[in-house]
Amino acid sequence: MLISSSRSPSPPTRTLCKYLASFFHCEYVTRGKSGLEDILYGMDTETLLIVGQYHGNPASLTFFDSEGQQQLSIWMNVVFYDKPKKSSSKGNMPAIKGGGTLAGLLVELLPESDNNSGCSIQVADDLMSFYCNGKSLFDLKIKGFKTMDD
């Protein structure tokens, strides 16, 4: 997975991108003046995650496949607890736990999780909680989501 942001992200958006890249053990690239096609062309992974913003705050996660087709959009608010620590699961993909439509969509989109990982995402249709070694890192309060089929 590759993570990027809007063209000129605010500091809170850059912070979320860095924490997501650390949590998923993937690369975060700054977009600058690059278009979506430029990022997709140089990408060697199956999934691209763009973190969007609204009024300077992170507000959306949009997943694209390697051909640039939008697969899933999630509108959300971020809740950080104190200063989140970067995950330390040493390259293992976090497990996705929970039921509901959103959890099923994320299981299909994200790389397969490693059961040995100390990190996990607890997913409900209105909340995504990111945990590592039993500690809560941050939450995403879900306002809504949409797939390419909707």
Identify the CATH number of the domain in which residue 53 sits.
3.40.50.10480
Name the strand (E) or helix (H) holding 88.
Answer: none
- The pLDDT of residue 90: 57
Name the strand (E) or helix (H) holding 19.
Answer: helix 11-24
Q: Which of 17-31, 35-49, 79-93 has the lowest mean pLDDT?
A: 79-93
Residues 98-118 pLDDT 10s = 988 999 999 998 887 766 778
Spatial CA neighbour of 147 closest among 71, 47, 75, 50: 71
Q: What type of residue is 113?
A: S
Q: How far apart, in whole angstroms, are the C-alpha atoms of residue 97 and residue 108?
A: 13
Please report where in the chains the tokens 């605010």 appear, as a residue. 10
State the pLDDT confidence band at 10, using cuts at 50, 70 and 90. Answer: very high
Total domains present in the chain: 1
Q: How many angstroms separate the Cα of 109 from the Cα of each of 12, 14, 79, 80, 142?
A: 25, 22, 23, 24, 17
Q: How far apart, in whole angstroms, are the C-alpha atoms of residue 108 and residue 118?
A: 21
**Residue 82 lies in domain:** 2-147
pTM of the predicted model as reported, rounded to 2 decimal places:
0.88
Q: How far apart, in whole angstroms, are the C-alpha atoms of residue 60 and residue 63?
A: 10
More reliable by pLDDT, 36 or 51: 51
Residues 57-89 pLDDT 10s = 999 999 998 888 999 999 999 998 766 555 555
Pairing label, strands 95-97, 119-124: parallel
Residue 63: count other Cβ atoms within 10 Å of its Cβ. 21
Decide if pLDDT at 17 tops 70: yes
On whether the CB atoms of residues 20 and 3 are closer than 8 A, the answer is: yes
Decide if pLDDT at 133 tops 90: no
Decide if pLDDT at 9 tops 70: yes
- The pLDDT of residue 4: 92
